[in-house]
Amino acid sequence: MFGFDLSLVEPYYKFSETLQECKSITLQTTDNEIYKVLQNLNSTLATLLCGKEVELKQVLELTWFQNKIKVLIKNIEPVGIKCQITNQTTIKIERDFLLLPTKEKWIEEINNNFGGYKGQIEEIIEKLYDYQDLPFVGLLLHGSSGTGKTYLMNTIAKASGLPIFKLDLSETFKREKGQVEKYIASIFLKAKENSPCFFLIDQIEAFAPCYESSNSSFSDLDRAVLYTLIESIDEIANVNSFDYFSEQNEQKTIYLLATTEYPQSVSKEIRECGRIDFDLEIQIPQPQQRIEILNCILKWMGLRLHNNQNEENILKTNSNTSQKIIEKTHSFVGSDLKTVCDLSSQKQILLQKENTQGNKNENGKILNLTTFLNQLEEYIPSSVQNCEWISPNISGDTKFDDLGGMDSVIQTLKTAVLTSLKSPEKFDQMGIEAPRGVLIYGKPGSGKTKLVQAIANESSLNLVSVKCSEILSKVLGRSEERISQVFLQASAASPCILFLDHIETIAAKRQKDSSEQVADRILTCLLTEMDGISKRGNFLVVGVTDRIQALDEAILRPGRFDLHIKIPDLDSKGRLEILLKKTKKMPLEKNAKEYLDKLAKDIDGFSGADIESMCKEAAYFCMRRDLENGFISIDDLEKAKQKIQYLKHKIEKKESKK
């Protein structure tokens, strides 16, 4: 409540005998505090405004404490003419309640400031609109750190145009016990007096923690804050329906939006019916969402990505650029993209300072694409920064077209992986369950990892890549903890592919020897996590191994790794296909190109990796012979073939002695 001093109200105008007397006037304001002030002044307003010329729909400006108060003249008598307030004028004060904008306008305003989540935004606005006739609506936004929960919450409230009240964590708990509860209650009271409005609570788990009666960590302050919050909500939400819909009721809807990273840590009592009824997960963005988010961030920062080809917006006009960014941003959230933009901008400023002859930018801030892509390469997304055993990506830009001799394998994978994640309903139509795990096995160098690279790049899905050997830890229980963390990360990034490289290191056959109990516990943890995939998110586990015989039978059962795909040994046709792909950009003599068909038949037993190594060796022989203008000859290819054959024989001989 504002203080008020009549002596500070500016006395108004002299009475004019030429204007008709105003019999009654209704003043309207949307501000609750101004409404209270004018109500207190109602008996003296006619005197203070005596002589003021007024007309219908005019905005009347009063001076109060050197501040301007604006009120609307809603009704006036007589109507249609200018008239003058006298001491006898009856003055009424009304409070007008703000209305929500139209759905379309509200959604458009939010999407302009928060990219990538159109579906979720529409769902939230639909929900708020459906319940706008109730005294209270509660919605919980939850998701991984950095996904933009708080920013979305603030954007929704700001775009509504309604008053906003916040329960700030630091502002609340800097008070002493007893004062904290009073402060919370006072904020709710202000919100009630200024309804309709938005009430925002960030990190609600701090105000309403989940507890058990035996949990000693739940302090008296925690309990007091929780019940103050519940009582404040109930006081608003449980208004008698007859009173709420009556014309005399001055309380309108309070829209409570809350955020949390840990929904399981929020009290069940606060999430009961009539309090915070609804929740929505803000997931780690999918590839196209990341491009939309990046566009929004660049717009907010006043930056434009530039590729030195004078294109206006390369993220919209150049699909190759978008694809490059998508491939480098697996598991990235909005805060990661914002950080990369900041770092790239800072780096570019330093480079421009070093370049004294740099051209001035006359078209706004331009961010060099190369600088941005290089920064993406160096940056580790926040979700895996503390998990050295998890990689947000696997190196390589391999596509299915780059793989030779794998046509049938590729077709099987397209059906199993892409269809199960993007169109799972297709499996329902066939009356079968979509696979949750795919095991790819074959000899070393057969192209298993490149196949997974191709899956990730072709699917445009999030990828969580794990080197299983790095999961293992000497600390008791740490390995199991890391496995659980891997599956949590995959769940947060879903729909995604979880790639487990060398899975035999964590899924080896169980031994009777008691010294192998650690390995057994790790396997048990992995089996438990795989059994819970269907409940935790839409993601597919792709395991890769050179030694399928080393895997425990339990991991191979249906429901875990449903699909087993063997990378077959290459036949001459497959070897020729790989040779042609690997030498496509290499300078071959004409007779050397014709020799490839014969060479493919001569290298029986070579894997894809062997053929790639042979091509590189042939290039090295050529460079040693003629560094400047050399073309790879048949002799270079023969020498390379013999060298790889010798190395393979040496390795096989060493393996046979083990």
pLDDT, tens digit (0-9, with 9 covering 90-100), for 363-387: 447 888 888 988 988 888 887 665 6
Q: In what order do the strands lie in the sheet with 20-21?
A: 20-21, 83-84, 53-54
Query: Does the structure show a pLDDT above 50 at 138?
Result: yes
Q: Within the chain, which residue ranges are assigned CATH 3.40.50.300?
A: 103-281, 400-566
Name the DSSP class of 62: E
CATH architecture of the domain 103-281 equals 3-Layer(aba) Sandwich (3.40)
Q: In terms of C-beta density within 10 A (0-12 exposed, 13-18 middle, 19 or more buried), how is residue 31 classed?
A: middle
Query: Does the structure show a pLDDT above 80 at 143?
Result: yes
Contacts of 220 (CB under 8 A, 6+ apart): 177
CATH architecture of the domain 6-95 equals Roll (3.10)
Question: pLDDT band at residue 198, thresholds of 50, 70 and 90?
Answer: very high
Give the pairing of strands 278-281 and 136-142.
parallel
d(CA 107, CA 156): 9
Query: Does the structure show a pLDDT above 70 at 52?
Result: yes
Bridge partners (DSSP) of residue 26 are: 75, 92
Pair of tokens at residue 405: 């001799």
Q: Compute the C-alpha angle 241/242/246, nearest 5°.
A: 115
Of 450, 393, 462, give the one whose Cα is nearest residue 421: 462
Of 78, 138, 148, give the one whose Cα is nearest residue 332: 148
Pair of tokens at residue 144: 């991984």
Q: How far is CA 551 from CA 319, 487, 502, in A?
A: 42, 20, 10
Least confident of 300-309, 338-347, 520-529: 300-309
pLDDT in tens, 547-583: 999 898 889 888 888 889 999 888 889 899 999 988 9
Amino acid making up residue 317: T
Of 348, 552, 326, give the one whose Cα is nearest residue 460: 326
Q: Are 139 and 276 in contact (CB under 8 A)?
A: yes
* pLDDT of the residue at 365: 76
Name the DSSP class of 96: P
> Per the omega criterion (within 30 degrees of 0), is the bond before 381 cis?
no
The segment with the largest mean pLDDT, out of 55-59, 128-132, 138-142, is 138-142
The dihedral through the CA atoms of 242, 243, 248, 252 has a sign that is negative
Of 549, 568, 608, give the one whose Cα is nearest residue 409: 568
Query: Does the structure show a pLDDT above 50 at 242?
Result: no
Q: Are 19 and 52 in contact (CB under 8 A)?
A: no
Q: Within the chain, which residue ranges are assigned CATH 3.10.330.10?
A: 6-95
* pLDDT of the residue at 563: 87
Q: Which CATH superfamily groups domain 400-566?
A: P-loop containing nucleotide triphosphate hydrolases (3.40.50.300)
Query: Does the structure show a pLDDT above 60 at 84?
Result: yes
Q: Within the chain, which residue ranges are assigned CATH 1.10.8.60?
A: 287-379, 572-656
Q: How far is CA 269 from CA 137, 198, 209, 212, 274, in A?
A: 16, 21, 10, 12, 10
Percent of the chain with pLDDT over 70: 86
CATH architecture of the domain 572-656 equals Orthogonal Bundle (1.10)
Contacts of 443 (CB under 8 A, 6+ apart): 546, 567, 569, 607
* pLDDT of the residue at 88: 86
Name the DSSP class of 557: S
DSSP string across 299-358: HHHTEEEE-SS--S-HHHH-HHHHHHHHHT-TT--HHHHHHHHHHHHHHHHHHHHH-TTP
Q: Compute the C-alpha angle 613/618/621, nearest 5°.
A: 125
Q: What is the rounded average pLDDT of the residues 392-402? A: 69
The dihedral through the CA atoms of 287, 293, 296, 302 has a sign that is negative
Q: Does domain 287-379 have CATH number 3.30.470.20?
A: no
d(CA 583, CA 275): 66
The b/e string for 268-304 (b: 16+ C-beta within 10 A; e otherwise) is eebbeeebbbeebebbbbbbebbbbbbbbbbeeeebb
Question: pLDDT band at residue 43, thresholds of 50, 70 and 90?
Answer: confident
